[in-house]
Amino acid sequence: MTDPIDLTELEEPLDWRVSSLVAAGACAAIGLLECAKDYVMVQIGGSQRPLVSVLRDQAMWWVLWMLLMPGVIALSRRFRFDGGRWRSSTLAHLSLGVGLSIGHIAVFGAAYFWAVGPTTTLGPTAGRVITVFMTRYLATDLLIYGGAVGVYYAFDYFARYRRLALEAAQAESRAARLQLNLAEARIHALRMELNPHFLFNALNAVAGLVRKRQHAAAIDMLARLGDLFRTTLDREMPAEVALAEELAYLERFVEIEVVRFGDRLRVTWEVAADVQNAFVPPLILQPLVENALRHGVGRRPGPAELRIGARRSGLHLELTVRDSGDGLAPVDGRAPREGIGLSNTRARLVELYGPDVASVDVADVRGGGVCARVLIPFHTSVLERDVALGA
């Protein structure tokens, strides 16, 4: 079970300017509705108050709120209720809401007195008008402030959860693609192990050992072949394994292939001691070794050499498979096509580490032969991998 994700760690999904414009637009819409309501009530009551007067009063009230909305949005972003800060943020919003409402009513009262002048219902002075409006509309202003904050948080959390759900769906899709690529790698490795030449040579070697009464060696050969099939058919294969485990599998594969080539194939292992515990994708080297044996060693008569290396290169783990063949021969004047095993390896690296962090390339080397090189972030745990990938 994964730990719950703290939404406060996510970047702000709502743009401050867009939120302010939406809030100001909402104030304008409410102001128009209030104006329509007041005018209808005036007509029903039989008053002679003109529409211009109604528009003036509502415009002064709601235009002031439109101007204040960017500040309300900024305060909402500054004093959040999540992350264990709800007590301090509640006190902050109560204080700021009261102060902002008082300021809003004071400016509105002064503007109303300047536009209308002294009245018998409100008072002869601006101070008296402001006091009357304060007693009538302070609670209304607090509701407007609280409503704006509440609506902002409603949209904010909806956007956060929607983005979180999208990221979760993308992660599930990525994991599914990774499992598919891993399954394809297992199938490819199994196809190679069931290759008639490979299987015939392995069984023929076992038969030869039995004829020579080297039963222990024959049993060991069968055990290696069984281990290869068991590893390849493992449905619970993880996304990453220790390099030592990957090399143990590869060594069994190579030992059986040596029977096919006999004494003419020499295998050299150049694995640094400090990379044995590094994590690598399973079956990552097998298709590279298969290509080297098939296209490099298999097509060239005489002595051949296969070099398998692993070392740390800065922040990366470098894996190499080099053969002493004739190199990448062009086909009809064009570069040779990339095989299924190599393309699958490339796709797995992209899914697991991203396109800019890991790579695989195959090129001719000076002195003859081809070298396949894999670069992945060096890590000995999932945490180190996430740090290397900036997760």
Q: What is the CATH number of the domain that holds 309?
A: 3.30.565.10
Indicate whether 146 and 290 sit together in one domain.
no
Indicate whether 163 and 307 sit together in one domain.
no
Asked which of 138, 170, 202 is the last residue of a domain, the reply is 170
Asked which of 149, 170, 191 is the last residue of a domain, the reply is 170
Provide the pLDDT for residue 269. Answer: 94
Indicate whether 54 and 150 sit together in one domain.
yes
229, 187 Cβ separation under 8 angstroms: no
Asked which of 170, 193, 223 is the last residue of a domain, the reply is 170
Indicate whether 365 and 245 sit together in one domain.
yes
Provide the pLDDT for residue 375. Answer: 93
- Domain span at residue 312 reads 237-388
Burial 230-252 (b: 16+ CB within 10 A, else e): ebbeeeebebbbbbebbbebbeb
Residue 180 included in any domain: no
DSSP H helical segments within the chain, as ranges?
A: 16-45, 51-78, 86-116, 126-193, 196-211, 215-232, 243-261, 286-291, 340-353, 382-388
Residue 200 included in any domain: no
Indicate whether 164 and 42 sit together in one domain.
yes
Query: In 3D, which of 142, 143, 119 has the Cα closest to residue 132?
Result: 119
Residue 334 included in any domain: yes
Indicate whether 281 and 132 sit together in one domain.
no
Domain count of the fold of the chain: 2
Residue 383 included in any domain: yes
Provide the pLDDT for residue 179. Answer: 65
Residue 226 included in any domain: no
Indicate whether 19 and 165 sit together in one domain.
yes
Q: What is the pTM of this model?
A: 0.50
Q: Is 22 left (phi over 0), alpha (psi -120 to 50) or beta?
A: alpha
Ranges of the chain whose pLDDT falls below 70: 1-14, 16, 45-49, 83, 175-201, 231-237, 260, 329-341, 386-391
Q: Which one-letter DSSP state was computed for residue 323?
A: E
Indicate whether 32 and 150 sit together in one domain.
yes
Indicate whether 65 and 150 sit together in one domain.
yes
Indicate whether 133 and 248 sit together in one domain.
no
Indicate whether 25 and 162 sit together in one domain.
yes
Residues 6 or more apart whose CB falls under 8 angstroms from that of 321 comprise 285, 288, 289, 291, 292, 306, 307, 308, 309, 371, 372
pLDDT tens per residue across span 17-47: 777 777 788 887 887 787 777 777 777 766 6
Indicate whether 154 and 290 sit together in one domain.
no
pLDDT tens per residue across span 298-330: 777 788 899 999 999 988 999 999 998 888 765
Provide the pLDDT for residue 200. Answer: 66
Residue 187 included in any domain: no
Residue 307 included in any domain: yes
∠85-91-95 over CA atoms, to 5°?
Answer: 140
Residue 37 included in any domain: yes
